[in-house]
Structure 1
Amino acid sequence: MIERPLDLDAVQAFIRIAELGSFTRAAEAMRTTQAAVSLKLKRLEDRLGFRLVERTPRHVQLSARGATFLDHARELLEVHDRALALFAGTRQRLTIGISDHVAGPELPALIARMNAQDPQLLIEIRIGSSGDLLQSFDRRELDTVIVRLHVGRSDGEILTEEKFGWFAARGWQHRAGEPLPLATLAEPCGVRAMAGQFLDAAGVPWTEIFVGGGVAAVAAAVMAGLGVAALAPRMLPFGAVDVGPSLGLPELPRLPVLLHTRVKDGPPRDALAALSAAFRTAVRG
């Protein structure tokens, strides 16, 4: 029988560790230190009387009891948040712009993480080009943007760097003597500009064969066999292959992903911290 109530901060730390698979990411999401997260978990384990997490040099894994406790821990925080919401005033709002080259297939999971951080927070997300989103941010139409590094901007916090490659459908063949058929996003697009610059510098003739209004459209054109696109691997459906080495195309650099925000504190900042930590985990795998 547990005589004293559980520490909700410690319960939240355990949930973050379980969801993000890392003490470091959990600390980022909670805006604290790894040592503080480790201490919270130890106190929770001491209170419960059993180990929740099995630690290894490379990753963390829930114990059998930890996996069982996870659902109960989530329910506990949900009940707590609902109780607080009964006496809360107007919902706080967080408007986020995410570059189309950044918002990958893991976006639903990232939104779920933010909602789990604060179910009462009203979240608004817009998808667009990095340039357009930065302009909206500067006009104070968005609280936060997560974008690719944009020409002329040196501000922002680097969340991670992501490798790009030249992708085509499996079995696609480039016709000898013809310009490289390129599928791109519509202007303005920093990745589109980068791809053209690298091909020009390498002396590779190219032509636009498809212009899409979003990365999903460009990926569809690639898988339909229209040509090649410069994209991050996680943005492509299963079956796409990097044809850069076989075609002798120039190696593309790792591109930074930056966070620009004017959110300083409160539930929006906590949700943003959870989003950032989850995003780093998703991109780095």
Structure 2
Amino acid sequence: MTTLDVDAVQAFVTVADLQSFTRAAELLGSTQGAISVKLKRLEDRLGQRLIERTPRSVRLSAQGAVFIDGAREFLAAHDRALAGVFSARRHFGLGIAAHVAGPEVPTLLARLNAHDPGLTIEVRMDTSRVLLDAFDRGELDAAIIRREDDRRDGEVLGPEHFGWFAAPQFAHRQGEPLRLAALAPACGVRDIATRALDAGSIPWTEVFLGGTSSMVTAAVSAGLAISAFSCRLAPPGTVEVSHRFGLPPLPSTEIVMFSTLTDARSREALRTLATAFREHRPSS
């Protein structure tokens, strides 16, 4: 079965239309020699001379005149096939951990949309553990989470540092348990904070346990409690108070992106995603 090379057919049609190897090479961003090689390869494959070339003229041969219409249809079908692939809207399921999402997220999504307008981005926000489980089940194409276990795969986007934050007016009486505002028990930051307090033999009590992130932020900003936050995401107006109250340092971790996408278009979208996150996340 004879198969056709798209580049060779394009070279033939362009030479036929312009009646010049030199102008065809200029239009195709190639060289006259390369165009000649492609045409010779096509003629050898078909077993027919397609172009009659003399020092003064370039014209279709009798066989070339028969082949030219089919060649144009072949190229048009090739262009339609590519247009169908690149114009079709695709869905991209992206998970972003709630404790990772910061002010860079709008920029991140805008960059991804500008890179590929045919991409329908479906964003899901939850805890890192829930999103990683969803990714492992195939429910997400990519997930940006905080590393919370010994799993070492995924692309590291950057470090994540933590600190103890409180309102400037927060008061802690010596001998009383430290008032700690925290989210639900499944929260990874809560686990980091409480383990550090227990290891330092510092008594603590939780307030606003199980509340929303906005409730925790409100309690800390109002001076009612202290909480551990990512240094990127500490509430405005709060200050780091670990030295002030003799609190233990909190271990750092990493922000990681997971994905199993392998096609070139998706991989390029992932590179855009990672670059946007690294460029626009505030310094810790």
Which bracket does the TM-score occupy, shorter chain normalised? 0.5 to 0.7
Q: CA deviation at 1:189?
A: 1.9
- Percent of aligned pairs with the same amino acid: 48
- Mapped pair 1:104 → 2:102: yes
Q: CA deviation at 1:220?
A: 2.5
The secondary structure found in structure 2 opposite 1:235 is coil
State the match for 1:233 in structure 2. Answer: 231
State the match for 2:132 in structure 1. Answer: 134
State the match for 1:260 in structure 2. Answer: 258
Cα distance in 2 for partners of 1:266, 1:277 equals 16
Q: Is the 8 A contact 2:232 2:282 kept in 1?
A: no
Cα distance in 1 for partners of 2:95, 2:177 equals 35
State the match for 2:186 in structure 1. Answer: 188
State the match for 1:170 in structure 2. Answer: 168
* Residue from 256, 271, 278 that aligns with 1:280: 278
Cα distance in 2 for partners of 1:128, 1:154 equals 21
Structure showing greater radius of gyration is 2
The alpha-carbon distance between structure 1 residues 144 and 203, as it changes in their structure 2 partners (threshold 3 A), is same
Cα distance in 2 for partners of 1:212, 1:267 equals 41
Q: CA deviation at 1:236?
A: 2.3
The secondary structure found in structure 2 opposite 1:108 is helix
Q: Could you list the runs of 5+ residues in structure 2 that have no partner in the other structure?
A: 1-25, 28-81
Cα distance in 2 for partners of 1:232, 1:277 equals 21
Q: How many residues align?
A: 204
Instruction: Give the alignment's Cα RMSD to 1 decimal.
Output: 2.3
State the match for 1:223 in structure 2. Answer: 221
Instruction: Encode CA deviations 1:162-186: one digit per residue, 9 max, x unaligned.
Output: 2110001121111222111111121
The 10-residue stretch of structure 1 (209-218 or 167-176) with the greater mean CA deviation from structure 2: 209-218
Q: Is the 8 A contact 2:104 2:281 kept in 1?
A: no
The alpha-carbon distance between structure 1 residues 240 and 148, as it changes in their structure 2 partners (threshold 3 A), is same
Q: Is the 8 A contact 1:168 1:240 kept in 2?
A: yes
Q: Could you list the runs of 5+ residues in structure 1 that have no partner in the other structure?
A: 6-83
The alpha-carbon distance between structure 1 residues 143 and 126, as it changes in their structure 2 partners (threshold 3 A), is same
The alpha-carbon distance between structure 1 residues 209 and 143, as it changes in their structure 2 partners (threshold 3 A), is same
State the match for 1:80 in structure 2. Answer: none
Cα distance in 1 for partners of 2:264, 2:96 equals 21
The 5 Å alignment of 1:1-285 reads 88-212=86-210, 214-283=212-281, 285=283
Q: Which has the higher contact order (CA 8 A, sep 6+)?
A: 1
Q: Is the 8 A contact 1:85 1:120 kept in 2?
A: no
The alpha-carbon distance between structure 1 residues 281 and 209, as it changes in their structure 2 partners (threshold 3 A), is same
The alpha-carbon distance between structure 1 residues 137 and 214, as it changes in their structure 2 partners (threshold 3 A), is farther
The alpha-carbon distance between structure 1 residues 279 and 248, as it changes in their structure 2 partners (threshold 3 A), is same
State the match for 1:21 in structure 2. Answer: none
Instruction: Encode CA deviations 1:138-165: one digit per residue, 9 max, x unaligned.
Output: 1111111111112242222211102110
Q: CA deviation at 1:212?
A: 4.7
The alpha-carbon distance between structure 1 residues 101 and 85, as it changes in their structure 2 partners (threshold 3 A), is farther
The secondary structure found in structure 1 opposite 2:139 is coil
Q: Is the 8 A contact 1:165 1:231 kept in 2?
A: yes
The secondary structure found in structure 2 opposite 1:101 is coil
Structure 1 residue ranges, 4+ long, deviating more than 4 angstroms after superposition: 84-89
The alpha-carbon distance between structure 1 residues 211 and 106, as it changes in their structure 2 partners (threshold 3 A), is farther
